[in-house]
Structure 1
Amino acid sequence: MALPTLSVIVPAFNEEDTIAATLDHLFAQIDEIDEIVVVNNNSTDRTEDVVRELLESQPKLRLVNESRRGVSFARNAGLDASTSDVIARLDADTLAQPGWALAIRDFFAAAPETVGVATGPLLPFDSPFRKVFANSNDRLIARARAASSDGISVVGLGMAPGGNMVIRRSAWSSVRDAVSDRTDIHDDLDLSLCVRRRDFSIAFILGMKAETSARRFRTNPVSYWRYTNLLTRTYKAHGMAHEARATRLEVWNNRAVHLVTWLPTRAYNPQSQRFSFGRMFTPEQDRITGEIGSASSN
């Protein structure tokens, strides 16, 4: 059975400290990838320079510039620029694990055309609550093994997190004019709802493993609360009033969890696996440089 071609897009805004490690993990499995498209989203740091330094030595690497700032603009520019049968997206602080690309190609070679989008296990490499996230992934994995005859996937998820997702080209073509570029809604949920409305389903692929930064959980409560508001606002934008009301419980639960875990997450040093008061005041740029470097060497 012929395997589909695979593009990987990496939207990046001011990611000079993380983009090289993200790309290195993709280069390690480049035989299974047809092209990597980094979308520089009007960065003001050296993100573009870091990528340009790699272009000559990595012929499958491409750079696209998107001046309109916002993850939906960057994502859409990358999806539009890609050329493969299936198009994966990784955040610029996310490390694809060995076998990631092949798992995607194997799955879509056998999956019915009605499966338009997929995601996979995504764990934070720098969180003291990594085991909690792993347990959540384990429940999905158990569901996949119980519900799927192929033992590698489960179909019927409600949303695919954009940090580790893949979309079939036919599904993207179908929803391209429907997805929103609003910056005040949740882009991952918006895309997932559009896909489902076009009768495509969302799958979970066991081998599509990636690890990412926990920096979202280190943001202050005010910023995190604003972020969680995007879920309810997205359902409202889609005219789904019942779902918007139902999501409020999920939103408040996420906020409560964030309040409990915020300070321990900021105080945690993944290299030493210890907590320290001073760690809470480490600038994010200094923190992420060391942590993604440590995760890359493991």
Structure 2
Amino acid sequence: MSLPSLTVVIPAFNEEDTIEATLAHVFAQADDVTEIIVIDNNSTDRTADLVRGLQSGQPALQLIREERPGVTFARNSGLDAATSEIIARLDADTLAQPGWARAVRTYFATAPDSVAAATGPLLPFDSPFRNAFAASNERLIAKTRAAAEDGLAVTGLTMAPGGNMALRKSAWLAIRQAISDRTDIHDDLDLSLCLRKSKFDIAFVLGMQAETSARRFRTNPAAYWRYTNLLTHTYKAHDMAREARATRLEVWNNRLVHLVTWLPTRAYDPATGRYSLRRVLAPEQDRIGGRVPAPSTT
């Protein structure tokens, strides 16, 4: 069976603490990756320098600078530049687990053309609630295996989270003009809604396993409140008033979970497994794009 080519796109803004580990996990799957594109979105730290330092030993690695601020612009630049049949996107704090790239290629090699995008299990590597997330993940995996005809994937998803997703280049080109560049909406949901409006399907693929940082849960409640508002704004931007109203329950549930887990997550040091007041008061934890513990590459 011939497998499609794969490009991995990684938007990055001030990711000096995580970008090397993220890339190391992709490099470990080099046999299944045609090109890797990191988009530097005006980083003021060493992100771009670290990527440039890796390029001499990794010919597939490219670095693009996108000066327009915002993950939407960075993501779009990477997707536009990709030349492979399948484009995967990872966040710069996300570690693709062994077999991830092969699972992407294998799935799209036989998936119907109507399936344009896919995502997979995503587990936080630095959360004190990792075991709870893992248990929820296992239930989702078991449910997927039971529902899938091949035991490997199910279709019909509403959204493909950008931290761990892949889509056909042909589908990206088909929806490119419909993609919004607004910064007050959720870019992952916008892309997913554009796919659905074009009659494309989204799949959940068990082999696309990745681990990511829980740093979103370390941001203060006001910042998280604004972030969750993006879901409702996106449905309204797509003239989907009923869906916008329906998502309010999800928004409030997410806010409640964040409120309950915020202080323990903020205080937790994944390097030591201990809690400290110093971490609770650290202002850098309110930034999504910086100063998180560097994960192990083993």
- Give the TM-score category using the shorter length: over 0.9
Q: Report the Cα offset of residue 289 of structure 1.
A: 5.8
What one-letter code is carried by the residue in structure 2 that aligns with 1:291? Answer: P
Gaps of 5+ in 2: none
Note the alpha carbon deviations across 1:200-224, whole angstroms, 9 max, x for none.
1110110111111111000000000
Number of equivalenced pairs: 295
Note the alpha carbon deviations across 1:81-119, whole angstroms, 9 max, x for none.
000010000000111111110010111111111100000
1:96 — aligned with what? 96
**3-state SS of paired residue (2:293):** helix
Gaps of 5+ in 1: none
**3-state SS of paired residue (1:117):** strand
1:8-87, aligned counterparts within 5 Å? 8-87=8-87
Distance 2:173 2:165 in 1: 16
Note the alpha carbon deviations across 1:51-98, whole angstroms, 9 max, x for none.
111111100001111110111100100000000010000000111111
RMSD: 1.6
1:296 — aligned with what? 297
Identity %: 67
What one-letter code is carried by the residue in structure 2 that aligns with 1:21? Answer: A
**3-state SS of paired residue (2:294):** helix
Classify 1:28/1:289 alpha carbon distance in 2 versus 1 (closer, same or farther; 3 Å).
farther
Contact 1:123 1:133 in 2 (8 A): yes
Distance 1:9 1:194 in 2: 19
Contact 1:213 1:292 in 2 (8 A): no
Q: Does 1:267 align with 2:264?
A: no
Distance 1:84 1:136 in 2: 33
Q: Report the Cα offset of residue 146 of structure 1.
A: 1.6
2:161 — aligned with what? 161
Note the alpha carbon deviations across 1:156-196, whole angstroms, 9 max, x for none.
11101100000111110111000101110000000000001
Q: Report the Cα offset of residue 48 of structure 1.
A: 1.1
Distance 2:250 2:269 in 1: 29
Q: Report the Cα offset of residue 290 of structure 1.
A: 6.7
2:129 — aligned with what? 129
Q: Does 1:230 align with 2:230?
A: yes
Q: Does 1:113 align with 2:106?
A: no
Q: Report the Cα offset of residue 142 of structure 1.
A: 2.1
1:246-261, aligned counterparts within 5 Å? 246-261=246-261
Contact 2:186 2:234 in 1 (8 A): yes
Distance 1:292 1:69 in 2: 24
Distance 2:278 2:63 in 1: 38
Q: Report the Cα offset of residue 256 of structure 1.
A: 1.0
Is 146-155 or 33-42 further displaced after alignment? Answer: 146-155
Distance 1:240 1:134 in 2: 33
Note the alpha carbon deviations across 1:252-294, whole angstroms, 9 max, x for none.
1111111110001011122332323333234449xx767323x
**3-state SS of paired residue (1:279):** helix
